[in-house]
Structure 1
């Protein structure tokens, strides 16, 4: 499948990306891909090993005469975000990604593409295979579960990597180089809430909020995109005046993707049905107007449920839960003063679920300041303690502190100017690159991050500009050679 990818240039890179597309690899399901890459390394005569967590390293000796050059680590993550449109039956654990080319961009049909971070992984593999590159000692580090928990980086073996310079290939903007990133943490909230049976004068109804674009919960958080959980909770809050009781809820699938859809079942007094429909219609119009020009396809519906649940939350429990969700931080909390036009602290209400009285919330807090990450998580704890919920803060990871005087950065900028005729923009990203974690385990590393132009990451709109991939790979090859010939 995806044979058309090998007609693209550079063929050596796109051939590897085809392998990635044809091998299912959502977070936690990278095993089959690991085996393929190990087999490929053995066929090429390249040394490879895994650490205790399963992260994979493939090594290539230096070109003759360049054995003393500083070792370069090419780093990316093997997993991809699994998001599909509602009408898609795609099984990310079984089915290959079905790609297509449109107007100079590569995208997938109805699902995420996996260019994040598949293009970076493919570039690292191509560099290992490309015997035309002059290089010092090369290591390619492929981590696991970056999209779900940063698990691979957090559990990376210490004292394992040998290189001095690390090139993270997980950025998504042409003409830019990243030297810092936000840290973050998952905030998980759990509660068992009291339920009561539906009464004879109540009717079960379903609320559906669909049509949002979604996106990356870090780099897209400031763009004004709709968050399905935030918006449907707003509707539920308005229906409190009609006596609605929440019976079930499902919104979002990943804590690091802006939720595109959310669904709820409510118990509503029969004599309030028309009033509720009127409120929902008014809110749909209001929200559509608020999101005009950014999320124009929002749809909100209220219908009689096909099957009525036996129970819904007790009236007070329902009111308190909806109130807490409505008050929970969501979106941009603060912009950075030190780094203009960059978000400092944010939160994404990524996954919200309620079934049989069991409530679950998973939010992702990000910040350039670790203290602000901790404080935002504590605000969640304080808020949801008010309704008797238990909060756990997990998978915390540090930010990546910028080093603007880095010799590696200066070399990259000079090479970028020589090859492309312009200086790259030096950026700090409001997203969780693995560099902060890797730097904590290997403090001696100098690191930069760069990549091709990717848009819509973490959503079915994900796409990569084909021309930018060739530019990215050419820059990577030139940098590897330059670092061998002119060590920093």
Structure 2
């Protein structure tokens, strides 16, 4: 591993020791403030805790227009069922696995911690030649682009923005989908269980999960849809009462697990086991090319769940009545998940999709068993690069909710980022990449959401591009970072930033530096 990569990964380990789940970025923001002040850089915060660090230009370049390097502070906090990691206090410990960096049973946080540490490393290297830099780090990108939405016109001044939040080195992202989340609430009716019914936990896990934008085209299984299918099969064979249900953890992650506490007649236990076993075998066959670890099983004791699915799992003698149970199953089965349409303009690009993201029951008092406020809460996340596609899909979800007597509400969403193929920044980046690596970079529009979409709507004249080192399986415990790609991003950014100083050098009669590949193991000193 070369020296530059070691420096960047050293910063990454330090950042990984700081809790920074979405909406809990205070500690990382304060750490960044301390780092900036220790290096003599200016720093300012806004009303939501976005931070911008001002790095002066190198000698002779102090008065050039500034370049914004942008990433987000928060991360998706996902872990395996077996992990005891507490994201509120436990450090993430990155492990080197050959050419990959991974975490132990949790998301790694390279999305988007790697942007932070590359930016800091660039700012620290006094041998580099660059214009003034504005290191812009936003909050809460993963759960609603809150930080980007709160940016004000005076927070940054640069009209060139480098977003380091894409996940395939060698690809420049110039556009992305817009998105909208829908929260669905269905009132529930609970009653005492009929006599001679036993409670069981129905568990679905072992799925790959992944990013609901980046990975949606792969057809990975959704645990919420699988458990709905299992519940439907059981209800078709015997009396079934749902006592509790919980699945998924984030709007932008394909659910990897789901679990339900259900009651069935005591004398049908063997039949229940057979139904679940047969369903598991069927799914393993159907998903054999995509999912290698599908597990669907039943367990007798609700107390054996880890973690407990919700306070209501302690209500052993109550469950949703028969009609309510059927409404829960029907709603979960009818809500869409996956690709709705493919782009007619860009080959292989998903145009519109939805993710049946999270399901749970809230509002029951485990001490009294009262359920007047008990509701099934579902979150669906829709994406589209076309406004009309997003509207049609969202309308379909609204109609499905109404069919089952459920209410719905939408968040403010975020717009698509429409590509500008004539962008001067794109042209410059393509030329620099070719000069550094003697190969041509690819250009793409992605189905995931990027803060560029929101930032572009707030800063009318800003020219933006997104890139980054290679990250696989973001938003899941299988997230990993391809270590050699870190150095490639570094070499590219060094030459790119230097290219913005060339006019200044020529103006002063200097010869300038010849663009070319940075020497291995150096910082172009």
Query: SS where residue 500 of structure 2 aligns?
Result: helix
Query: SS where residue 196 of structure 1 aligns?
Result: strand
- For residue 258 of structure 1, the aligned residue among 240, 254, 257 is 254
* Alpha-carbon offset, residue 486 of structure 1: 4.6
TM-score by length of 2: 0.89
Name the structure 2 match of 1:413: 430
Name the structure 2 match of 1:106: 101
- For residue 328 of structure 1, the aligned residue among 325, 331, 335 is 335
- For residue 87 of structure 2, the aligned residue among 85, 92, 115 is 92
* Alpha-carbon offset, residue 134 of structure 1: 1.1
The structure with more radius of gyration: 2
- For residue 204 of structure 1, the aligned residue among 167, 191, 199 is 199
Q: Which one has the bigger strand percentage? A: 1
Contact 2:129 2:497 in 1 (8 A): yes
Name the structure 2 match of 1:46: 41
* CA deviation string 1:300-353 (max 9, x = no partner): 112323466221111111112211110111011111111111111111111111
* Alpha-carbon offset, residue 21 of structure 1: 0.7
Contact 1:247 1:354 in 2 (8 A): no
* Alpha-carbon offset, residue 461 of structure 1: 0.6
Name the structure 2 match of 1:374: 391
Write the distance in 1 (CA, Å) between the matches of 2:382 and 2:3: 38
Name the structure 2 match of 1:277: 273
Contact 1:255 1:351 in 2 (8 A): yes
Query: SS where residue 359 of structure 1 aligns?
Result: strand
Write the distance in 1 (CA, Å) between the matches of 2:407 and 2:105: 36
* Alpha-carbon offset, residue 68 of structure 1: 4.6
Name the structure 1 match of 2:417: 400
Write the distance in 2 (CA, Å) between the matches of 1:320 and 1:74: 49
Matches within 5 A, 1:437-476: 437-476=454-493
Contact 1:74 1:139 in 2 (8 A): yes
Runs of 5+ unmatched residues, structure 2: 304-314, 365-373, 505-525
Write the distance in 2 (CA, Å) between the matches of 1:306 and 1:51: 46
Query: SS where residue 86 of structure 2 aligns?
Result: coil
Query: SS where residue 361 of structure 2 aligns?
Result: strand
Residues 65 and 382 from structure 1, CA distance in 2 versus in 1: closer, same or farther, beyond 3 angstroms? same
Write the distance in 2 (CA, Å) between the matches of 1:319 and 1:305: 23
Write the distance in 2 (CA, Å) between the matches of 1:84 and 1:270: 34
Contact 2:261 2:302 in 1 (8 A): no
* Alpha-carbon offset, residue 176 of structure 1: 0.5
State the superposition RMSD in angstroms: 1.6
* CA deviation string 1:358-406 (max 9, x = no partner): 2111121111112322332222222112222111101400110100111
Write the distance in 2 (CA, Å) between the matches of 1:93 and 1:26: 8
Residues 8 and 205 from structure 1, CA distance in 2 versus in 1: closer, same or farther, beyond 3 angstroms? farther
Query: SS where residue 175 of structure 2 aligns?
Result: strand
* CA deviation string 1:264-311 (max 9, x = no partner): 011212343332222211110010011112211111112323466221
Residues 251 and 8 from structure 1, CA distance in 2 versus in 1: closer, same or farther, beyond 3 angstroms? farther
Runs of 5+ unmatched residues, structure 1: none
Write the distance in 2 (CA, Å) between the matches of 1:213 and 1:9: 33
TM-score by length of 1: 0.96
Name the structure 2 match of 1:165: 160
Contact 1:66 1:485 in 2 (8 A): no
> Do structure 1's residue 424 and structure 2's residue 431 form an aligned pair?
no
Write the distance in 2 (CA, Å) between the matches of 1:401 and 1:221: 20
Name the structure 2 match of 1:296: 292
Deviates more, 1:89-98 or 1:313-322: 313-322
Write the distance in 1 (CA, Å) between the matches of 2:88 and 2:33: 20
Write the distance in 2 (CA, Å) between the matches of 1:360 and 1:485: 56
Write the distance in 2 (CA, Å) between the matches of 1:64 and 1:286: 66
* Alpha-carbon offset, residue 8 of structure 1: 6.0
Write the distance in 2 (CA, Å) between the matches of 1:203 and 1:319: 19
Contact 1:184 1:370 in 2 (8 A): no
Write the distance in 2 (CA, Å) between the matches of 1:479 and 1:306: 57
- For residue 497 of structure 2, the aligned residue among 475, 480, 483 is 480
Name the structure 2 match of 1:341: 348
Query: SS where residue 436 of structure 1 aligns?
Result: helix
> Do structure 1's residue 225 and structure 2's residue 220 form an aligned pair?
yes
Contact 2:13 2:93 in 1 (8 A): no
Contact 1:69 1:485 in 2 (8 A): no
Query: SS where residue 22 of structure 2 aligns?
Result: coil
Aligned length: 482
Name the structure 2 match of 1:56: 51
Query: SS where residue 122 of structure 2 aligns?
Result: helix
- For residue 77 of structure 1, the aligned residue among 64, 72, 91 is 72
* CA deviation string 1:218-265 (max 9, x = no partner): 100111211111111111111111221211001111111111111001
> Do structure 1's residue 134 and structure 2's residue 134 form an aligned pair?
no
Name the structure 2 match of 1:353: 360
Query: SS where residue 180 of structure 1 aligns?
Result: strand
Matches within 5 A, 1:143-182: 143-182=138-177
Query: SS where residue 475 of structure 2 aligns?
Result: coil
Residues 486 and 239 from structure 1, CA distance in 2 versus in 1: closer, same or farther, beyond 3 angstroms? farther
